[in-house]
Every structure is written in structure tokens, then in C-alpha cells.
């Protein structure tokens, strides 16, 4: 705009999405500029390093609760997701799945299915699928194929032996992704008390409302795919590699991913749809069923976490040794001030496909760390809040913890409001953000369940850009964390998922949501950091600590279940 008007940059401003030249009040929109400029060359230009970012004090729209422009479409059902895409002359696809993990197809007779009217059959190595004019017809065709398929199955561990399996299959070569300070050996030798515990975290599914879906269309050797993905560039690369075509002949369009939570980075459904479309010579829509989503998508990694900590004669924490087996190194470093520390991640050979999840391995690492901090506080004869504060120098972590405790009235909670009521707290940091949570639980002994009655969570991610949107993110993290804390876990045996349906895999319902007090600690003096993941990491350990406070039973596994209610 400055170049077009031949004016100085300081005389131009942007208001409500319109570029304004203040002295003359001339205006132009971004769309007008795009129509008159060489857009392709403009996108190739590097952003100068000296471009000034608008200071927080000069924000006009940022910092306010701006409504989402597509909210009405979402609540009325008119918003379009990949499963809503319809192309001219489109078919619907279905893929033949193996009966268990690791099974290989040894033989199949395609004749009966190929004889079905209007059905296209694709067989390429281990891939077998069909396309037809309706999803029902495609499912019928795959059902016919399944009758003639022979499989060679492979041994596979069950969820009952998951944690011993991960420990036994830990890869040699020692730790990675960790750090060491001081001397663990000296710290343990001089300790007044030493605690050693092991924590377990189960596999969970992302359980998005929208299972994977894709529409693929070939034209003149070029491939266009509509799909929902958190990693469109990765999907683009997978498609180019799968079909051995130049990347410039592949186009990936993301209508809307819907729920992802770290679970939709890969492009398997896009590749499958493209295989079917290429053979059919027509566009193909492929929509995974809920069972396919639960079975063939990747999972949040399970974990075995081993910790030892040492206290001196004054009850101060002097030594910290933390090892995560399998799930990852996110947030593995302790935020507490401890003289002797060692943290590390050891890879294992996982029995299930695993990948990203909301806040990655920080959910597991913070659960173990904050649960163990309570155990250390008890060993030191200290209040859990006071014990943490005594070992925190980071003022941002201290601020969220103190604010949460004050809002929750931690010092006024009393021993218990009833024989089956307990209180717990936890805090943590990841991705440049800070969180603290306090929880009140009540143990329903008749039903053998843990009822979370009240949660207070304080979150700080620097300058808040959209308070309403951030509040929704934090509330969503709490509710999602509630499920992983109390009910969600994948159960499997003989290479088959045993609970691949919402009727068997319990995610929180609205009736399960406790009273929520969410406070956003705005820091306009700091750069904004991520707000969609870190709020999830404090809820599970806060609940576990509250359960111990109510029952005297320390549960060192997720999901947190009382001993009589734990599932195989």
C-alpha cells in the first residue's frame, strides 16, 4: 500500500482489517491489494527482521474476547468438515482391515466382489479396498472380501501386561533428552530419607468427535485431497511419496480438521482414499468408522516412570532422579530448585502405534512428578503447598500456585469436610506457560467411584490475546484431563482393541464436569505463549493427591481408580 500510494510507512495504519492513509484518509483492503499486486512474488519476500510488533499497550483487537466468525455454522450443523465434501461423480470407499495388529494377508479371492455391480476393487500388496456408489454398498463389498481373506496372525501382548512389557523392552543405550546437575550418588548417600516409587500411565485415544475422513480426486496425473489434518505438509509429503509423483502435482486442502488433540498429524486416510480414487478413475470419499478411529489411529504413549528423591534432616528436597520409559521427554525437567538432579527418557518397543497427544508426554511426566512431590511432602511432614513453595524460585510458577491456592481457599479447607472428601493440588510448566490446579474429590464407596466436586485452575501464558477463546481452551483441557485421569484407557488382547467404542471407552460427559473456577493470570508485560495444551497437565495429579487425602491410598497410575474398581 505504501509503495502504491508512494507514502511513508509511518503514515499508514490498519483499522478493522482495512489499510488507511491517515493524512488523506485513503483506504484499501487486503483483497484489493492482492488483486493488483504480484501475489506470488509478494509471498516469496522475506519479512524484514526490523519489522516492529505492535506493543501490547497499543492492542486494539488483541486482548479482547472476539467471537469466532464460524460459531453459528458450527452450532447449526452447516459448517463443513472433510466428511461433508461431495465431488461430482464421487464414490464412497471402504478398506479391508486385518483382524489383529501385526497380521499379514496371505491370500484373498477377489472374484465374488469383482462380480458385484458398481463395485471397484483395489488390491495392492497388503492393501485391499473397495469403492461404490454408496458407503453401504462399499461396506457390503468389503464384507464379501473378508470372507475369502486368509491371515497370518502374530503374537501380541495384552494391556494386562503392558507395563512389564514396556520395562522389559526398554531399549539399551541409556537415557536421552534429559539433564544432570550435581551428584545423585552423593545426594542419596547424605540423605536423611530416600523415597523410590514407580508410576504407570496407560494408553489413551484422542477420541475426536470427527473420525478421520478424506476425499481424493485425480485429474491429468495430479492429485487433490480434502482432509482434516494438523500437519498438512506432512500429509502432502506422504501422498507424493506413496504415489511417487512430484510434490508440485499434489494439492492438500484442509476444510476443517475438527477435533485433533495431537492425533491427526498423519495422512493414512488420505493415502487410502487416493489409492481407491486412482483405481476407480473417480473421486472417492473415505470415512473411517468410530471403531477404525479407535483401533488404527495412533495413541497417547503409555509410560513407566521411575523416581527417587532424597530429603535432608530439615525436610528439604536435595536429590531428584527421574526416568521416563517410553512416553517421551516433554516437561521431563523438574521446575523445582534441587541441588542434585538427573532426568532422562528411555525408549521402548511399544505394543501399540503411538504419537502426539495434547501436551505430549508432559501429561505423564507431570502426573508422576506432582504425585511424588506430595509423597515427599508427607515424608517431610510438610503441607503440600508449603513444600512446593519452598522449592520454587521461578516467580511465574510461584504466582499461579499461590493464586490457585488463594482462590481455592487452601488454607481454609480444614482436615476434611467429610470422611470421604479430600483436597489436592498440583502445578507445572510446559511450552512457556504455567499452570496450577486445586481439586476437591468425594469418594463414592457404594459405586466405587471418584467424584470430582470442584476444580480451581490458574493459567498464565504471557499476554492474553483472546480471553474468551483462552478460557474455552483451559476448560477443554480440564475436561479432557479429567477423562484421562479417571476413566480413559485402551484395553487390548491378542492384537485386538477391546473397547473401540464410546459405549466401552468412557470420556467425560457434561454430568461429570465439576464446578470450575478458571482464572487467567494475564501478563501483558510478557510475550504470549501457547495456551491450548499446558492447562491439561495439572488436573490428574491434583485429583490423585486429593484421593490420597480422602482415603490414605496412594494411587500411582492413570487412570486413577480405587483398588476394588481397577479394570484388567
Together in a domain, 282 and 342: no
Q: What is the pLDDT of residues 123-178, one digit of tens each?
A: 999 999 999 999 999 999 999 999 999 999 999 999 999 999 999 999 977 677 67
Together in a domain, 37 and 116: no
Q: What is the pLDDT of residues 376-392, one digit of tens each?
A: 999 999 999 999 999 99
Q: How far apart are CA 237 and CA 252, in angstroms?
A: 10
User: Partners of 18 in the beta sheet?
Assistant: 15, 29
Q: DSSP labels for 25-67?
A: TEEEEHHHHHHHS-HHHHHHSPPPTTPPPPPGGG-SSTTS-PP
Together in a domain, 400 and 462: yes
Domain that holds residue 17: 2-52
Give the model's pLDDT for residue 34: 82
Give the model's pLDDT for residue 53: 84
| Apex 501 CA angle, 499 and 503, nearest 5 | 95
Q: How far apart are CA 38 and CA 29, in angstroms?
A: 15
> Is the confidence at residue 46, as pLDDT, over 90?
no
Q: How far apart are CA 454 and CA 407, in angstroms?
A: 12
Q: What is the pLDDT of residues 498-550, one digit of tens each?
A: 999 999 999 999 999 999 999 999 999 999 999 999 999 999 999 999 999 99
Which of 244, 261, 296 corresponds to the end of one domain? Answer: 296
Give the model's pLDDT for residue 15: 87
pLDDT tier, 35 (very low <50, low <70, confident <90, very high otherwise): confident
Which triple of cell numbers denotes residue 417?
469436610
Together in a domain, 240 and 340: no
Is 63 inside a domain boundary?
no
CA distances from 404 to 93, 254, 485, 520 (A): 51, 39, 20, 10
Together in a domain, 463 and 326: yes
Residue 348 is given by DSSP the state: B
Region of 411 (left: φ > 0; alpha: ψ -120 to 50; beta: rest) is alpha
Is 384 inside a domain boundary?
yes
> Is the confidence at residue 119, as pLDDT, over 90?
yes
User: Partners of 259 in the beta sheet?
Assistant: none
The order of strands in the sheet holding 26-29 is: 12-15, 18-21, 26-29
**At what angle are helices 539-551 and 467-486 packed, to 10 degrees?**
50
Which of 296, 316, 339 corresponds to the end of one domain? Answer: 296
Q: What is the pLDDT of residues 468-483, one digit of tens each?
A: 999 999 999 999 999 9
> Is the confidence at residue 39, as pLDDT, over 70?
no
Together in a domain, 461 and 537: yes
User: Partners of 181 in the beta sheet?
Assistant: 341
> Is the confidence at residue 565, as pLDDT, over 60?
no
> Is the confidence at residue 414, as pLDDT, over 70?
no
CATH of the domain at 558: 3.30.365.10
Q: How far apart are CA 225 and CA 251, in angstroms?
A: 6
**At what angle are helices 539-551 and 362-380 packed, to 10 degrees?**
30
The order of strands in the sheet holding 433-444 is: 421-430, 433-444, 449-460, 515-520
Is 289 inside a domain boundary?
yes
Cis amide linkage into residue 559, ω under 30° from 0? yes
pLDDT tier, 568 (very low <50, low <70, confident <90, very high otherwise): very low
Burial label for 457, CB within 10 Å (0-12, 13-18, 19+), is buried
Which of 244, 278, 296 corresponds to the end of one domain? Answer: 296
Is 65 inside a domain boundary?
no
Is 167 inside a domain boundary?
no
Together in a domain, 313 and 420: yes
Is 182 inside a domain boundary?
no
Which triple of cell numbers denotes residue 367?
502426573
Residue 53 is given by DSSP the state: P
> Is the confidence at residue 554, as pLDDT, over 70?
yes
pLDDT tier, 418 (very low <50, low <70, confident <90, very high otherwise): low
Which has the closest alpha carbon to 218: 245, 189, 195, 183?
A: 245
**Dihedral in degrees, nearest 10, Cα atoms 107, 112, 114, 117:** -160
Dihedrals phi, psi of 468, to nearest 5 degrees: -65, -40
Farthest-apart Cα atoms in the chain, separation: 81
Together in a domain, 405 and 506: yes
Region of 304 (left: φ > 0; alpha: ψ -120 to 50; beta: rest) is beta
Is 174 inside a domain boundary?
no
pLDDT tier, 417 (very low <50, low <70, confident <90, very high otherwise): low
Is 161 inside a domain boundary?
no
pLDDT tier, 99 (very low <50, low <70, confident <90, very high otherwise): very high
Together in a domain, 290 and 347: no
Together in a domain, 32 and 132: no
Give the model's pLDDT for residue 566: 52
Together in a domain, 323 and 281: no
Together in a domain, 451 and 337: yes
pLDDT tier, 48 (very low <50, low <70, confident <90, very high otherwise): confident
Q: How many domains does the chain have?
A: 3
Q: For residues 231-256, give the mean pLDDT.
A: 97
Instruction: List CB contacts of 138: < 8 A, sequence separation 6 or more.
Output: 91, 92, 93, 94, 119, 130, 131, 132
Amino acid at each position: 500500500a505504501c509503495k502504491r500510494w508512494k507514502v511513508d510507512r509511518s503514515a499508514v495504519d490498519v483499522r478493522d482489517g482495512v489499510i488507511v492513509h491517515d493524512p488523506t484518509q485513503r483506504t484499501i483492503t487486503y483483497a484489493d491489494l492482492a488483486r493488483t499486486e504480484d501475489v506470488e512474488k509478494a509471498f516469496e519476500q522475506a519479512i524484514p527482521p526490523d519489522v516492529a510488533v505492535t506493543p501490547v499497550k497499543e492492542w486494539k483487537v488483541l486482548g479482547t474476547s472476539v467471537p469466532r466468525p464460524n460459531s453459528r455454522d458450527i452450532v447449526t450443523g452447516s459448517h463443513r468438515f472433510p466428511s461433508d465434501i461431495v465431488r461430482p461423480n464421487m464414490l464412497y470407499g471402504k478398506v479391508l482391515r486385518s483382524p489383529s495388529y501385526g497380521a499379514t494377508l496371505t491370500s484373498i479371492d477377489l472374484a465374488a466382489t469383482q462380480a458385484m455391480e458398481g463395485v471397484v476393487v483395489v488390491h495392492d500388496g497388503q492393501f485391499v479396498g473397495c469403492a461404490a456408489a454408496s458407503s453401504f454398498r462399499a461396506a457390503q463389498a468389503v464384507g464379501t472380501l473378508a470372507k475369502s481373506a486368509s491371515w497370518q496372525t502374530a503374537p501380541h501382548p495384552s494391556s494386562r501386561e503392558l507395563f512389564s512389557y514396556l520395562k522389559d523392552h526398554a531399549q539399551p543405550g541409556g537415557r536421552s533428552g534429559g539433564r544432570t546437575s550435581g551428584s545423585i550418588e552423593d545426594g542419596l548417600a547424605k540423605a536423611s530419607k530416600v523415597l523410590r516409587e514407580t508410576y504407570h500411565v496407560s494408553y489413551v485415544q484422542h477420541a475426536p468427535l470427527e473420525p478421520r475422513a478424506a476425499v481424493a480426486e485425480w485429474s491429468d496425473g495430479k492429485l487433490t485431497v480434502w482432509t482434516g489434518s494438523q500437519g498438512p505438509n506432512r500429509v502432502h509429503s506422504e501422498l507424493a511419496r506413496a504415489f511417487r509423483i512430484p510434490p508440485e502435482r499434489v494439492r492438500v486442502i484442509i476444510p476443517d480438521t475438527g477435533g485433533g488433540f495431537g492425533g491427526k498429524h498423519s495422512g493414512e486416510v488420505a493415502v487410502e482414499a487416493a489409492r481407491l480414487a486412482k483405481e476407480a478413475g473417480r473421486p472417492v470419499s473415505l470415512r473411517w468408522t468410530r471403531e477404525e478411529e479407535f483401533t488404527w489411529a495412533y495413541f497417547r504413549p503409555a509410560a513407566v516412570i521411575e523416581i527417587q528423591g532424597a530429603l535432608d534432616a530439615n525436610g528439604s528436597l536435595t536429590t531428584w532422579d527421574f526416568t521416563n520409559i517410553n512416553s517421551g521427554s516433554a516437561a521431563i525437567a523438574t521446575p523445582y530448585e534441587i541441588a542434585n538432579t538427573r532426568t532422562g527418557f528411555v525408549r521402548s518397543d511399544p505394543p501399540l502405534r503411538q504419537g502426539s497427544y495434547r501436551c505430549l508426554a508432559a501429561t505423564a511426566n507431570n502426573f508422576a512428578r506432582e504425585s511424588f512431590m506430595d509423597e515427599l511432602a508427607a515424608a517431610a511432614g510438610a503441607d503440600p503447598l508449603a513444600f512446593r513453595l519452598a522449592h520454587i524460585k521461578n516467580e511465574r510458577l510461584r504466582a499461579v500456585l499461590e493464586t490457585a491456592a488463594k482462590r481455592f481457599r487452601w488454607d481454609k479447607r480444614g482436615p476434611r469436610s467429610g470422611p470421604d472428601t479430600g483436597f489436592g493440588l498440583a502445578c507445572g510448566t510446559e511450552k512457556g506457560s504455567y499452570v496450577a490446579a486445586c481439586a476437591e474429590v468425594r469418594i463414592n464407596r457404594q459405586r466405587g467411584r471418584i467424584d470430582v466436586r470442584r476444580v480451581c485452575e490458574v493459567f498464565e501464558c504471557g499476554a492474553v490475546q483472546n480471553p474468551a477463546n483462552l478460557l474455552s481452551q483451559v476448560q477443554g483441557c480440564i475436561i479432557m484431563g479429567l477423562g484421562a485421569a479417571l476413566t480413559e484407557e485402551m484395553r487390548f488382547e491378542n492384537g485386538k482393541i477391546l473397547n473401540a467404542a464410546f459405549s466401552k471407552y468412557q470420556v467425560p460427559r457434561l454430568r461429570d464436569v465439576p464446578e470450575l473456577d478458571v482464572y487467567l493470570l494475564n501478563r501483558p508485560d510478557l510475550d504470549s505463549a501457547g495456551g491450548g495444551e499446558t492447562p491439561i497437565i495439572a488436573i490428574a495429579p491434583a485429583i490423585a493427591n486429593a484421593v490420597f487425602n480422602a482415603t490414605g491410598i496412594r494411587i500411582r497410575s492413570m487412570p486413577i481408580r480405587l483398588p476394588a474398581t481397577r479394570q484388567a
